[in-house]
Amino acid sequence: MQNKTFKSLFISYDGLTDPLGQSQILPYIIGLAHAGFKMTILSCEKKDRFKEKEELIQSICKANNIEWVPLLFHKSPPILAKYYDLFNLKKTARKLYLENRYNIIHCRSYLSAEIGRELKKKYGARYLFDMRGFWVDERVDGGLWNTKYAFYRFAYKKYKHKEALLIADADHIISLTEAGKKEIRTWQSYKNSTPITVIPCSADLNLFTLTDDAQQLKAKDELRVKKTTFVLSYLGSLGTWYLLEEMLLLFKAINDHYKVAKFLILTPDDPDIVYKKAATLGLGKKDFIIRFVERRNVPFLIKASDLSVSFIKPAYSKIASSPTKLGELLAMGIPVICNSIGDVEMIIDKSGGGAIMNEFKEVNFKQVIKSFPALLSKDKTLIRKNIQDYYSLSNAIDIYDKVYRQLLNVNN
Q: Domain count for the chain, please give it.
A: 2
Q: In angstroms, rounded to a whole number, what is the distance separating the alpha carbons of residues 377 and 306?
A: 10
Regions of the chain where pLDDT drops below 50: 1, 3
- Asked if the structure places residue 252 within a domain, the reply is yes
CATH number of the domain that residue 32 is part of: 3.40.50.2000
- Asked if the structure places residue 315 within a domain, the reply is yes
Choose among 90, 87, 120: nearest CA to 105: 120
Give the pLDDT confidence score for residue 287 in this predicted structure. Answer: 97
DSSP 3-state assignment of 62? helix
- Asked if the structure places residue 1 within a domain, the reply is no
Q: What is the pTM of this model?
A: 0.92
195 Ramachandran zone, left/alpha/beta (phi>0; psi -120 to 50):
beta
Residue 360 and residue 224 share a domain: yes
- Asked if the structure places residue 228 within a domain, the reply is yes
- Asked if the structure places residue 291 within a domain, the reply is yes
- Asked if the structure places residue 208 within a domain, the reply is no
Residue 140 and residue 83 share a domain: yes
Give the pLDDT confidence score for residue 410 in this predicted structure. Answer: 83
Residue-by-residue DSSP string for 228-282? T-EEEEEES--STTB-HHHHHHHHHHHHHHSSSEEEEEE-SS-THHHHHHHHTTT
Residue 249 and residue 154 share a domain: no
Residue 380 and residue 264 share a domain: yes
Give the pLDDT confidence score for residue 283 in this predicted structure. Answer: 96
Say if residues 205 and 331 touch (Cβ distance below 8 Å). Answer: yes
Residue 178 and residue 260 share a domain: no
- Asked if the structure places residue 207 within a domain, the reply is no
Residue 170 and residue 45 share a domain: yes
Residue 404 and residue 373 share a domain: no
Residue 362 and residue 250 share a domain: yes
- Asked if the structure places residue 11 within a domain, the reply is yes
Residue 317 and residue 270 share a domain: yes
Residue 226 and residue 339 share a domain: yes
Residue 379 and residue 258 share a domain: yes
pLDDT > 70 in the chain, percent: 99
For residue range 379-401, what is the model confidence (pLDDT) as tens digits? 999 999 999 999 999 999 999 99
Q: In angstroms, rounded to a whole number, what is the distance separating the alpha carbons of residues 326 and 331?
A: 8
Give the pLDDT confidence score for residue 361 in this predicted structure. Answer: 94
Domain that holds residue 167: 7-202+392-408
Give the pLDDT confidence score for residue 412 in this predicted structure. Answer: 59
169 half-sphere exposure, CB direction, 13 A CA radius: 23
3-state secondary structure 308-331: EEECECCCHHHHHCCCHHHHHHHH
Say if residues 215 and 359 touch (Cβ distance below 8 Å). Answer: no
Residue 173 and residue 285 share a domain: no
